[in-house]
Amino acid sequence: MTASLAPSTVRDIVKRYARSIGVPGLACHDLRRTMSRLARDGGAPLEVIQATLGHSSITTTERYLKTTETANAGEWIKL
């Protein structure tokens, strides 16, 4: 049996930890965009990113990645 988390639970966890690290405006979608951009920058094939994001069309994934070129959570988090 696999355990799953409700979307609202994931959102609450992200918001709680974001506040604790001083980034109260961080949202789940910021993490999704960051994951896709880092995967692409790391050489992941578009098809893999498409499957991970759940896009039905590779064109959607290409457009999505273009919108993430300058937007990612790494810009918010200063390590």
**DSSP helix/strand/coil, 46:** helix
Give the pLDDT of the chain (79 residues) as one tens digit per residue.
678 899 999 999 999 999 999 998 899 988 998 899 899 989 999 999 999 999 999 999 988 888 665 555 555 555 4
CA angle 61, 67, 73 (to 5 degrees): 105
DSSP category for residue 56: S
The pTM of the full predicted model, rounded to 2 decimals, is 0.70
